[in-house]
Structure 1
Amino acid sequence: MQPYSGISRRLIASIIDIFVIISLFMFLELITETIDEALFYILFFLAMWAYFVFQESSTLKSTVGKQAVNIIVTDLNGNRISFIQATKRFILKIFAVIPFFAGFLLILFTSKKQAFHDIIAKTLVFIQED
């Protein structure tokens, strides 16, 4: 059985992922010069959605950040999550941030180290064995 990932690896993975997304958008803004503010936020949300959902539902089961810290996202049986499941997880992750990242603190208190979005989306985050 693979060990569940704790909060520290997940936090480092999130920081890496946010850095990748922000870097891509800084590059995009340089290319397009100026983007309407509303359009920027819509594109930012869609890019984040695509980034997380396509990678986590892929055969890699992880984003760039998760790969860097050697963790994967699976369903409750250890299988690759579906595109719909990854989308649900992404949207619920937004609610896990409000208020004060409280939904993520559940990782400290659940036996399978699941955050709010993991519990509702029925996902687990494992340390990937080599």
Structure 2
Amino acid sequence: MVPYGGFWWRVLAYFLDAIILNIASSFIGGVLGLGVGMAMFGIDADVVTGAAVASSVAISFVVSWLYFAGLECSRLQGTLGKLAVGLVVTDLRGERISFLRATGRYFAKILSGMILLIGFIMVAFTERKQGLHDLLAGTLVYRTRDPSSVYDSSDVFA
């Protein structure tokens, strides 16, 4: 039996992902020159600052969403942080999740965080180590480097 990905493994994976995302967002912001390009055209400094902040937040949000949802539904079944610590994301049968389910899981994480992080803390106390976002999306996180080792081929109704 493959163990579920516990709370501290998932925290470590998230810290690694946060580092990767900060580097990526900084690079993208630098390449796009947010704020600098508008200042060159003589646009008011307050407008430049507001537009740069809004653009930066929007880009970071989209990059974060595509990073988490895209990698968790890929054949890797996990973000780079999850892969580094040996975690994979599956559906309840141990199969790879769809992009739609991964997107739902990503947005459910916002709810997990909004309720004083209780949705994340649930991982430490639920039987299958599921956070609120996992329960809502119907996903499990396993501690393995081989996603095929968690596939449950048994028929529930047999």
CA distance in structure 2 between the aligned counterparts of 1:28 and 1:43, rounded to whole angstroms: 8
Q: Does 1:37 align with 2:44?
A: no
For residues 71-86 of structure 1, the aligned pairs below 5 Å read 71-86=87-102
User: Which segment drifts farther, 66-75 or 101-110?
Assistant: 101-110
* Alignment partner, residue 12 of structure 1: 12
Q: Does 1:97 align with 2:109?
A: no
Secondary structure at 2:97 match in 1: coil
Larger radius of gyration: 2
Q: Does 1:53 align with 2:87?
A: no
The partner residue of 1:88 within 104, 110, 123 is: 104
Secondary structure at 2:105 match in 1: helix
* Alignment partner, residue 109 of structure 1: 125
CA distance in structure 1 between the aligned counterparts of 2:31 and 2:99, rounded to whole angstroms: 30
TM-score, length-scaled by structure 1: 0.95
Q: Does 1:124 align with 2:140?
A: yes
Secondary structure at 2:104 match in 1: helix
AA at the equivalent of 1:59: R
- 1:68-87 deviations in Å (ceiling 9; x for gaps): 00000000000000111000
TM-score, length-scaled by structure 2: 0.79
Secondary structure at 1:79 match in 2: coil
Secondary structure at 1:95 match in 2: helix
CA distance in structure 1 between the aligned counterparts of 2:29 and 2:66, rounded to whole angstroms: 18
Secondary structure at 1:126 match in 2: strand
CA distance in structure 2 between the aligned counterparts of 1:39 and 1:66, rounded to whole angstroms: 28
What runs of 5+ residues in structure 2 fail to find an aligned partner?
Answer: 36-51, 147-158
Same amino acid, percent of matched pairs: 37
AA at the equivalent of 2:69: V
What runs of 5+ residues in structure 1 fail to find an aligned partner?
Answer: none
- 1:11-57 deviations in Å (ceiling 9; x for gaps): 00000001101001112222233341111111111000000011000
User: Which segment drifts farther, 29-38 or 80-89?
Assistant: 29-38
Indicate conservation of the 8 Å contact 1:75/1:122, yes or no.
yes
Runs of 4+ in 1 over 4 A off after TM superposition: none
Indicate conservation of the 8 Å contact 1:89/1:121, yes or no.
yes
Count of residue pairs the alignment pairs up: 130
Shift of 1:100: 2.5
